[in-house]
Structure 1
Amino acid sequence: MLDEADHDHEPEAPLDMLESYFSAHGWTFDRHDDEISATVKGSWTEYEIRALWREEDGVLQFLAFPDVKVADHARAAIYETIGLVNEQLWIGHFELWSSSGILLYRHAALVDRDEDDAVLSLDAAQLLIETAIDECERFYPVFQFVLWGGKSPRDAIAAALIETQGEA
């Protein structure tokens, strides 16, 4: 999380706020017109995160790609897994792009307007980014257990989401 020394907490245009956030974290990013993308190192894999701004609708679409590509023969099991995983999410959802077999996390957020300009607060930016990364990290093993471990979707969720108690 950023603290007051890192950012003045003034809301900014959505992509400007995300650019500031990415810069503050030292993440590599690219920005073009109404889109920004960054690469983030997670504990399981490297994630591409991407935001697309739709000015006319006031919607910021946020995507995270956990570097999982699904072959045609595994799609039925992954669709079942996605259904079970999405039941556990409080914001956003996972989906599979049918044309490419790419797994992704997606969330669309309505953005507040300050007078006539759309603005995104630091808190809202953190929520979007951290939730996407956290959910990708939490469920990455589930998808890997199904794809590479031969587990059923229910067994994969049970194996990956074991709650540990205490400290080692």
Structure 2
Amino acid sequence: MMGNDEFEQDGQEAEPLDMLASYFEANGWTFQQNGEDEISAKIPGSWAQYEIRAIWRQEDQVLQLLAMPDIRVPEDKRGTIYETIGLINEQLWLGHFELWSSTGVVLFRHGALLGSSETLTLDQAQLLVEAALDECERFYPVFQFVLWGGKTPAEAIIASMIETRGEA
């Protein structure tokens, strides 16, 4: 793995997982390499601690980023959460939420096609991670309203998307 000093200038490139490791380290986030093609980090958010996993598929030149906001869906609420995810995904430009049927875990997934250079810049690493975290932060309350607040998916989205203005 390369040191942080090699990534200080914009435009620097490195292998995707090395660049992500440097980005995580620069932010003081706990991370670990999970083999040659995967890295994971724990990142604090406003609503929860998020686990970010990046998986590099060299044969496809794709970096897949998963953000897991620590939401587990009980079996009896999965139908409602599938509806919720459908409504949320209609609002997303990049990436999507999904529910893993085997574990009931909600996650955000995005894939980045890096092309033949097979490198990632610091700016790209930051954009990928921040975009995933922003979507998790934005929609975490929606899932909570549906799971624990008794709201319908449409009601939860309306309640969560109210923008506050001014200061208290």
TM over 0.5: yes
Structure 1 residues 48, 57: CA separation in 2 closer, same or farther (over 3 Å shift)? Answer: same
Contact kept, 8 Å, 2:7 with 2:122, in 1: the verdict is no
**1:29 maps onto 2:51 in alignment:** no
1:107-152 Cα offsets, whole Å, 9 max, x none, are 01101333xxx11111211111000000000000000000000000
Find the aligned partners of 1:164 and 1:112 in 2 and give their Cα distance.
Answer: 41
Partner of 1:7: 8
What is the aligned partner in structure 1 of residue 131 from structure 2? 131
TM-score by length of 1: 0.93
* CA distance in 1: counterparts of 2:7 and 2:119, whole angstroms: 19
Do the aligned partners of 1:82 and 1:95 also contact (CA within 8 Å) in 2?
A: yes
For the 8 Å contact 1:6–1:24, the answer to whether it is kept is no
Letter in 1 for 2:27: H
Does the 8 Å CA contact 1:79/1:96 hold for their aligned counterparts?
Answer: yes
How far residue 158 of structure 1 moved from its aligned partner, in angstroms, is 0.5
The percent of aligned pairs where both chains have the same amino acid is 63
SS at match of 1:140: helix
The aligned residue for residue 98 of structure 1 is 101
Q: Which amino acid aligns with 2:22?
A: S
Q: Aligned partners of 1:78, 1:37: CA distance in 2, in Å?
A: 25
Report the counterpart of residue 69 of structure 1 in structure 2. Answer: 72
Query: 1:1-168 alignment to 2 at 5 Å?
Result: 7-9=8-10, 10-31=12-33, 32-114=35-117, 118-168=118-168
In structure 2, list runs of 5 or more residues that go unmatched. none
Quote the Cα distance in structure 1 between the aligned partners of 2:90 and 2:83. 11
Whether the aligned pair in 2 keeps the contact of 1:63 and 1:105 (CA below 8 Å) is yes
CA contact (8 A) 2:69 2:140 kept: yes
CA spacing shift, 1:126–1:55, aligned 2, 3 Å: same
RMSD: 1.5
Contact persistence 1:112–1:120 (CA under 8 A): no
CA distance in 1, matches of 2:154, 2:6: 45
Comparing 133-142 with 7-16, which one deviates more in the overlay? Answer: 7-16
